[in-house]
Structure 1
């Protein structure tokens, strides 16, 4: 079954159960928004915050300028993405930067990113927990009470939240509020840094020593793509159109330099020989598009298998894979969350910064205007990049 359809069915089931058992499950329903509040976990946040309140405050004193730099970088990135998109449309190159849905296991045609379902779910759960714990830890370190902790489902978007005491927040100094608001993204960036270090150590030491390439593994087949119904996830490819494929580098060179859209591609795999007719990539029609995603097929070296067995090498490999997605998703979401529009943390930080010099009336006007502009740009980029691929999936 299509993974995107599976997500839709799962969400429908969750909504039905939430409506039927809202009292027993203590779920609050606000239109398309489901919220489940709890008093649990506050003790853990208090414990961590009280380990060293001074450390948390000073770390966020460094975190605030980092958050501001992240905000500036993301505004520049979003604007330049819009410019490139318009330029590519004007000259019909179809090469504008493409956005992507952060839904593990969903392969949208033309999307630059495919997130493995298991590693992606682990990374997203860690992302949400660390982000909200960041807000909670700084709040408690600053003496702001936490009313509740919970999870939220807004239409199709899952999330988590820490509900702070509004009166404590209003009474707090601007610098205190800035530290609290910046904490979520800074904690995500810190986790990304830790994950990157783990991946760097593993990928530069044990993994090259333990594994050797042995072909190409098809990791997913894009719905309604050229390979659907012919090639299958998990197939190991060793030859395409007479060219030996030892790893992903060989495959990329073949696709970019030795084929063109419309060519027939004959795959020699561990499950037989199959032929497909390629098309052009959805976002660049001049590049061959077989409708698959793939990675180098690795096997444990015989000498490593003899010494360590198979379990340890593969455990470290999958740990590295999870670490990569923890790094990538935490960094990307943390930076996106710093965009200066509400209700993102970046919008609230932007509002607090303007409040140092401007009246509330002017702050509200500027924040509202910037929010409308930024949301429009982001929505336009998402629609331009993702909707055609989704239409192709369901067509």
Structure 2
């Protein structure tokens, strides 16, 4: 039978040394980078350039984009509420869950080589780069739509994660009606939700998709002292058939394992050859960790769209939450300033600080040792 997939991730110290060496060289030559408009801080690089003042007026002034802005405004606040609710839900669940239970959802930072495998890094960087760029473009489009000039734009690099930004003219933005300012902020939030919905059908997140594309069942781990272990079955082998019945889904695997106590596995070995092996499973327990086998390049495509979904869904919720430096924090500030005047900005800062501490607490609970 299949058990939960476990993947062991370790830190590659050569990668860590290369990372520190790269940033060390960048920091040593930071004065030279400044000649090209690049500002360097420890593990942070920023390039700012004067931007075009108005972005694609034909698009930003169109009826379709105006409709998008009207929809994005209530959706932005709905996402804010959803982001805050999710943070509290995670905290409540993690505080009430037993030590032997697995939480349904947690908050874990993406740290290549520690919380995720290094093989996932190219997909993550590409997904983040695309998502952030489109996010900022929609801020710029909405600024143009509301007659606010864009002053600067640029790109940044935080550790290994790319980013982008646009800066509307501060005086024009501050003098704009509250409704216009809220639209400019919300336009960037909601586009991430749309990107997540676009990516979802092409990712591993939909249960039917892996099974529909599966060419077999891949063994990713073997439990010691089990029939699979005693038969010298290894991770990386792919189960193609049991007793002559072709297998492509986990349901088929379960059904055949519970139907027989003596099985003949048709396996594809690590060298690509096929091999039949008989295994006795008196308790209907094979002893393997499994997942769907999807051949490349379909795996690459699905992995990219999976990360595109994860990145954008996370941005749409947590960037909408009223945390310091998030778009959700800016939304809250503008609303409170509208009703409370200048005191609204101070109150917004205190609220954002409180929610930031709660968010950090949720991350702490998600990553504390079990027990």
TM value normalised by structure 1: 0.67
Instruction: Could you tell me which runs of 5 or more consecutive residues in structure 2 were left unpaired when the two chains were aligned.
Output: 1-8, 222-231, 259-266, 272-286
Instruction: Could you tell me which runs of 5 or more consecutive residues in structure 1 were left unpaired when the two chains were aligned.
Output: 220-229, 258-267, 273-288, 300-313, 390-395
Aligned to 2:102: 95
SS at match of 1:116: helix
Aligned to 1:323: 305
Q: Does 1:23 align with 2:19?
A: no
Q: Is the 8 A contact 1:203 1:320 kept in 2?
A: no
Q: CA deviation at 1:176?
A: 1.0
Q: Is the 8 A contact 1:216 1:247 kept in 2?
A: no
Aligned to 2:335: 353
Q: CA deviation at 1:323?
A: 2.5
Q: Distance in 2 between matches of 1:207 and 1:365?
A: 52
Question: Residues 51-66 of structure 1 correspond to what in structure 2 (within 5 A)?
Answer: 51-55=59-63, 56-66=65-75
Q: Distance in 2 between matches of 1:61 and 1:198?
A: 28
Q: Does 1:12 align with 2:20?
A: yes
Computed over aligned residues only, the root mean square deviation of the Cα atoms, in angstroms, reads 4.3
Aligned to 2:93: 84
Question: Number of paired residues?
Answer: 320
Q: CA deviation at 1:369?
A: 2.5
Query: In 2 relative to 1, CA 253–346 (structure 1 residues): closer, same or farther, beyond 3 Å?
Result: farther
Aligned to 2:237: 236
Map Cα deviations across residues 91-147 of structure 1 (whole Å, 9 max, x no partner).
5345344222235x5453xx8x99833332221111111111111111122222222
Q: Distance in 2 between matches of 1:139 and 1:330?
A: 22
SS at match of 2:80: helix
Q: CA deviation at 1:158?
A: 4.0
1:334 to 316, 319, 322: 316
Query: In 2 relative to 1, CA 52–148 (structure 1 residues): closer, same or farther, beyond 3 Å?
Result: closer
* Structure 1 stretches of at least 4 aligned residues deviating more than 6 Å after TM superposition: 202-207, 230-233, 250-254
User: Structure 1 residues 334-343 or 55-64, which shifts more?
Assistant: 55-64
Q: Distance in 2 between matches of 1:374 and 1:217?
A: 42
Higher-Rg structure is 2
Q: CA deviation at 1:217?
A: 5.3
Q: CA deviation at 1:14?
A: 4.1
Question: Residues 17-166 of structure 1 correspond to what in structure 2 (within 5 A)?
Answer: 17-19=25-27, 20=29, 21-30=32-41, 33-39=44-50, 42=52, 46-47=55-56, 49-55=57-63, 56-88=65-97, 91-96=98-103, 97-103=105-111, 106=113, 108=115, 116-154=120-158, 158-166=162-170
Q: CA deviation at 1:336?
A: 1.0
SS at match of 1:331: helix
Aligned to 1:304: none
Question: Residues 360-379 of structure 1 correspond to what in structure 2 (within 5 A)?
Answer: 360-361=342-343, 363-379=344-360
SS at match of 2:291: strand
Query: In 2 relative to 1, CA 298–191 (structure 1 residues): closer, same or farther, beyond 3 Å?
Result: closer
SS at match of 2:315: helix
Q: Is the 8 A contact 1:216 1:245 kept in 2?
A: no
Q: Distance in 2 between matches of 1:237 and 1:170?
A: 61
TM value normalised by structure 2: 0.70
Q: CA deviation at 1:71?
A: 0.8
